[in-house]
Amino acid sequence: MRDFALELEERKQAGLYRTRRHVAGPQRPSLIADGKPLLSFCSNDYLGLANNPANIEALRDALSKTGLGGAASHLICGHHDAHHQLELRLAEFTGRSSALFFSTGYMANMGVISALAGRGDTIFSDRLNHASIIDGCILSRARVRRYAHGDVAALATMLAETSGHKLVVTDGVFSMDGDIAPLAELARVCRAHDALLVVDDAHGIGVLGPEGRGSVAEAGLSEEDVPVLIGTLGKGVGTSGAFVAGPSMLMDYLVQKARTYIYTTAMPPALAMATISSLDLIERDQGRRDHVLGLVSRFRREASAMGYELMPSHTPIQPIMVGDNHDALALSQALEERGLLVSAIRPPTVPVGEARLRVTFSAAHSQENLDCLLSALSECRHLVQKADVAI
């Protein structure tokens, strides 16, 4: 038998051991984690909606009408009218013909990719795509070719060399870097080479684009340009679940073929109603987006002036590049001693030698919260190498 205990010990030695914190109370910037009050800068609740009173009220109200459990899979008797309402709302929100509600973004990526490509086909995947995309590619049994991050010219060359069914998949906003894929150029080369483009906008939905419609809408791209759009609902939208949106025929195909849609219990229908409430709020409330993006601009200005190495991101994901795993842990620990929760991200989540602190912002953060972060970063500056280039 494998020596699992030894592997755990080796992880500890390499600075790669992961632990979980116990959070008490609702998700918001001021958290109680492991019994300690901390100011969090590591959640994906970009719009501060995870604890929104109107959405909680919508959930309560829906619970009294729909009950709690999903009871069965969608294709047996779990497909509730509340799920249908949400799918119509998601199609409208994203400007697509049709949408399907999945239980998580991880399941959406696994199910969609493995349904739309299979043995004998080729998938082209950005090197920095999320783990759920990588796993979806593996599950598909298609040939997988990874292209350098955001390198549309390299992708075009690969596409030109390949025949048969081709699927290109990319994060919209890259989860650990915060930058945005070159979506317009990707759409152009996919059209030129008859490849199906799949964009996972997990971190753009709610936050970017007109009325929060995401990075694809921000790039002005329609259903013809990006036929398969995936989004998650547990991040900017503040509830839970995920969706895929696109042409009705493709959604019908996924209902027949996406195993992570078919072989799982439907989400509690009341959650769908809370998500509709949240989408209504997101469309109306530009103020939340303006506020969080304002915090991002100020952070970038002041943290790069201190000499921290930031990444080319203008989204609420603002990683501080550190490099070494132990150094990243030391910076995270020093911030925690100053009352801040910012997690260190290490391989395999990011490439070896690129450990970083993934700082994220929320509309629920105040300017005073940002003051606290900046002043702690200033005190901890000596813990990381000076950046060669200020971005």
Task: Please give the annotated binding residues for substrate, written as ranges.
Answer: 18, 130, 349
Number of residues that bind ligand PLP (CB under 6 A): 13
Span interacting with ligand PLP, options 87-95, 99-107, 214-222, 313-321, rule CB under 6 A: 99-107
Residue 315 touches ligand PLP, criterion: CB under 6 A: no
Nearer to ligand PLP, 122 or 232 (CB): 232
The dihedral sign for the CA sequence 292, 18, 110, 148: positive
Looking at beta carbons only, is 40 or 369 nearer to ligand PLP?
Answer: 40
Catalytic residue at 30? no
Return the range that interacts with ligand PLP (CB under 6 A); candidates 101-109, 296-304, 307-315, 374-382. 101-109
User: Given candidates 15, 78, 118, 234, which one binds ligand PLP under the rule CB under 6 A?
Assistant: 234
The minimum distance between CB 5 and ligand PLP, in angstroms, equals: 29
Q: Is 203 a catalytic residue?
A: yes
Q: Note whether 260 binds ligand PLP by CB under 6 A.
A: no
Q: Which is nearer to ligand PLP, 130 or 346 (CB)?
A: 130
Residue 313 binding ligand PLP, by CB under 6 A: no
Active site residue 165: no
Q: How many CB atoms lie within 10 A of CB 319?
A: 23
Q: How far is the CB of 176 from ligand PLP (least distance, A)?
A: 8
Does 130 engage in binding with ligand PLP (CB under 6 A)? Answer: yes
Toward ligand PLP, which CB reaches closer, 193 or 314?
Answer: 314
Residues 80, 83, 203, 365: which is the catalytic one? 203
Residue from 43, 66, 104, 170 in contact with ligand PLP (CB under 6 A): 104
Choice between 46 and 106, CB closer to ligand PLP: 106
* Residue ranges at the known binding site: 18, 105-106, 130, 175, 203, 232, 349
Residues of this chain that interact with ligand PLP (CB under 6 A) are 104-106, 109, 130, 132, 171, 175, 200, 202, 232, 234, 242
